Each structure stands twice: as structure tokens, then as C-alpha cells.
Amino acid sequence: EERALLKFVRARKSAEKSYEMLRNTLAWRARERVDACLSEPIDDDKLKHVERIPAYYAGFGKTGHPIYVEHTAVIPWPTILEHMTADEFLKSQVQTLEWQASVVYPEASRRAGEPITQVINVWDLKGLTMSGFTSEIRAFVKKASAVAQDNYPEGLYAAYIVNAPKIFSFVWAVVKQFLDAKTVAKVHIYGSGSK
């Protein structure tokens, strides 16, 4: 589809780099059997841990983009890490991205009367502590960010980080290293004040 190709062009700015990114994505999709992932559910004993992630779609913004809300600070990482490998967790994230592309974006496009292929993310950091952001969790975040950025380019319309504690500046310094500069510019951070 032309819109999907355009996302790769926007992400890399040159035909050669865009083609390389697309070629790598197609190889990754074949290797990981991404086209079949929605018909291959995660085992129930793994799924129950993913389902504990406090996240949901909250409707559509003024621009028509779907809004995804996640209480990031209370994701049950110790349980997820104990019961799932990084690859199993990534599969669940890929399934979410594929479901978003095949169900959420078409509905947003239908409602808006124009193509919508990006999401607004709201990440609530209330309760975030440094002890909860271990090296193992950082590795998970890095791997998940790379999969999304490398294979689902230009999927973010905007991100709002709310209730960011003062220590978040350290966390953000680590996380933004793994993100494209254009993506970083779409992120808006708000503390726990009354904004």
C-alpha cells in the first residue's frame, strides 16, 4: 500500500535508505512470521502476564488519531520477566502493533474520513522509581523500541508523558538514545503539577 511505503520514505529521507529499511522489514516479517502472528495466539500462561499491563485505547483525539493510554510505571515487569522471555514479550508487542494496523487504524480512518496511520500515546509515570528501571527492563525497552522504530516507522503522531517524577530525566536520557530524533521531538513531558 502506498501509505505504508510513504512511512518508510519519511523515516529515512533518501530512496536508498528507505529501500534498505523496507527490505530489512520484509525480511524480518518473513523470518518472524509476522503476517501470521494474529492467528497464532500467545499461550494462555504467557498471555495472562501481558494482560496485566495497565493499557487501553481511550478513543480518538481531535485530529482523529487513536489514543493509547498506558500506566507505564506500574507495568508488572518482575512477573513478566519471570514468566516470559524477551522474544515472547516482543511477540506480544508485535501482535499489538499488527492489531493496531489492521483494526485500530482502519476504524480511525473510517471515522475521520481520511487515512490515519499514527497513534497518540499517553504514558502515565505516576509511581515510577529508579529501582523499578533495572538493566534487564532497560534491555527489554531497548529491544521493543528498536522493533517498533525499525519495522513500524512513523507510527507515532504524538506522545504525552504525564506525572513524570523528577528522576525521569535520568530514565529519559537513557530511553531517548534508542529513538530517532524525529520521534524524540514528538514527545511532550509533563510533571505531576496541574498542567
Helix/strand/coil (H/E/C) assignment for every residue in 45-110: HHHHHHCCCCEEEEEECCCCCEEEEECHHHCCHHHHHHHCCHHHHHHHHHHHHHHHHHHHHHHHHH
pLDDT at 195 over 60: no
For residue 134, what pLDDT is reported? 82
CATH number for the domain harbouring residue 19:
3.40.525.10
Dihedral sign (CA 119, 25, 142, 188): negative
pLDDT band at 193 (very low <50, low <70, confident <90, very high): low
pLDDT > 70? residue 98: yes
Close Cβ partners of 188 (under 8 Å, ≥ 6 residues apart): 158, 159, 160, 161
How many domains does the chain divide into? Answer: 1
pLDDT digits (tens, 9 = 90+) for 11-27: 887 889 999 999 999 99
pLDDT, tens only, 52-72: 999 999 999 999 999 999 998
In which domain, by residue range, is 65 found?
Answer: 1-191
